[in-house]
Amino acid sequence: MEENRVIHEITPLMGKDSLYIADRRKKEFTYPIHNHEVFELNFVEHASGVRRIVGDSNEVIGEYDLVLITSPDLEHVWEQNECKSEDIREVTVQFYIDLSEDGFFGRNPFNSLRKMMLEARKGLAFHMEDILRVYNLIDTLSSIKDGFYAVTQFLAILYELSKSTKMRPLASNSYAKVEVASDSRRVLKVKNFIAKNYMDEIRLGTLADIAGMSPSAFSRFFKLHTGRTLSDYVIDMRLGYASRMLVDTSKSVAEICYECGFNNLSNFNRIFKKKKDCSPTEFRENYHKTRIII
């Protein structure tokens, strides 16, 4: 369906350019939902009430917002929503960094930065504490005339953010199509099995066997390594796939419910509303409102 397409933005970043910096003041957000090949750090101030959508994350922001996105497929948009501000400021920096282990940024001093960039494939939102730490660097970035010093100041911003203990991912792994490879081999085997079989019934005993542990020991082990119970993890993964299907397909909510491993439609609707703060139908409608034909 053509109206379900996301704008694939062609960035002004060209050839040997390093950064594209846009520092602007405005009264409203009008740009539709989009994605792009390059990475993006987006800072917004004086925009309380704006709705920020990143993948299957849908949140209303406060006075300040700072988000990093490094996936070419992850759609995002800031919508006016209930914002009444007459003086919104938005600083957008588009850039690209080679994250391969053999590249310059694969070297030891950049370990925390590289780890953050990989995590930002799901979109990362930063805590107010982090924003205040880099505010002056962001505030003056667009006024630096010398390209070298602009790049070094931007890298300082990224490095400071990479030390954050309060950054949080926005989109779910399954929605953003991101595989997390930093876990122990045992956890990774279990996660891979769940990712391949999320549409079927997943038994604790089966996963415990894969991990070579007793069911009770495995349950404790899994929560320790993921921060979630097994049932919560499976539900979150199924909801991520369901959200992606609501956006990318015209299948009915019932079809999506059963294809994503939920065996009861009313239960699916209840869990979806609890986790996403809207029904599956509302989620689909909200996305389609922000999309245009291209």
What is the CATH number for 77?
Answer: 2.60.120.280
**Interatomic CA distance for residues 9 and 33, integer angstroms:** 10
Contact between 31 and 46 under an 8 Å Cβ cutoff? The reply is: no
pLDDT at 180: 56
pTM for the full model?
A: 0.73
Examine the domain organization and report whether 37 and 163 are in the same domain.
yes
Contact between 121 and 174 under an 8 Å Cβ cutoff? The reply is: no
**Interatomic CA distance for residues 182 and 114, integer angstroms:** 12
**Interatomic CA distance for residues 213 and 228, integer angstroms:** 18
Examine the domain organization and report whether 152 and 120 are in the same domain.
yes
Q: pLDDT class for 3, splitting at 50, 70, 90?
A: very low
pLDDT at 4: 42
**Interatomic CA distance for residues 177 and 207, integer angstroms:** 22
The residue count of the chain comes to 294
Helices (H) and strands (E) counted in the chain, each on its own, are: 11, 11
Q: Residues with Cβ < 8 Å from 201, sequence gap 6 or more?
A: 261
Q: Does residue 257 fall inside a structural domain?
A: yes
DSSP H or E run through 191: helix 185-197
Examine the domain organization and report whether 186 and 159 are in the same domain.
no
Examine the domain organization and report whether 24 and 59 are in the same domain.
yes
Give percent of the chain with pLDDT exceeding 70. Answer: 90
Final residue belonging to a domain, choices 122, 139, 171: 171
Contact between 57 and 170 under an 8 Å Cβ cutoff? The reply is: yes
Q: Does residue 149 fall inside a structural domain?
A: yes
pLDDT at 293: 35
Q: Does residue 233 fall inside a structural domain?
A: yes
Examine the domain organization and report whether 251 and 283 are in the same domain.
yes
pLDDT at 5: 46
Arithmetic mean of pLDDT, 31-42: 88
Final residue belonging to a domain, choices 102, 137, 171: 171
Arithmetic mean of pLDDT, 56-78: 93
- Tell me the one-letter amino acid at 213: M
Report the number of distinct structural domains present in the chain: 2
With b for 16 or more beta-carbon neighbours within 10 A and e for fewer, the 66-101 pattern comes to bbbbbbeebbbbbbbeebebeebbbbebbbebebee
Examine the domain organization and report whether 147 and 187 are in the same domain.
no
Arithmetic mean of pLDDT, 123-128: 97
Give percent of the chain with pLDDT exceeding 90. Answer: 51
Q: Does residue 294 fall inside a structural domain?
A: no
Which CATH number covers residue 203? 1.10.10.60
Examine the domain organization and report whether 62 and 91 are in the same domain.
yes
Question: pLDDT by residue (tens digit) across 151-184?
Answer: 999 999 999 999 999 999 999 888 887 765 555 6
pLDDT at 46: 96
Examine the domain organization and report whether 107 and 34 are in the same domain.
yes
Examine the domain organization and report whether 9 and 120 are in the same domain.
yes
CA dihedral 119, 121, 126, 131 (to 10 degrees): 110
Arithmetic mean of pLDDT, 42-64: 94
Average pLDDT, the chain: 87
Final residue belonging to a domain, choices 171, 188, 221: 171
Examine the domain organization and report whether 94 and 195 are in the same domain.
no
Cα→Cα distances 178→21, 106, 283, Å: 27, 20, 21
Examine the domain organization and report whether 118 and 258 are in the same domain.
no
Examine the domain organization and report whether 153 and 196 are in the same domain.
no
Domain that holds residue 13: 2-171
